[in-house]
Amino acid sequence: MGQCKYCGEDAGFFSHVHKECEEKHNQGT
């Protein structure tokens, strides 16, 4: 299982980020 690189929670089998976390990160920069 992949861990979200932004929040550290489980992000699903093929994913390393949550879409929500990535969007928040992109909006914050």
Residues 2 and 20: their CA atoms lie apart, in Å, by: 15
The per-residue pLDDT for 15 is 93
Question: DSSP 3-state assignment of 21?
Answer: helix
pLDDT tens-digit map of 1-29 = 799 999 999 999 999 999 999 999 999 86
Report how far apart, in Å, the C-alpha atoms of 28 and of each of 2, 10, 12, 25 are: 23, 22, 24, 5
pTM of structure: 0.69
Helix H or strand E segment including 4: none
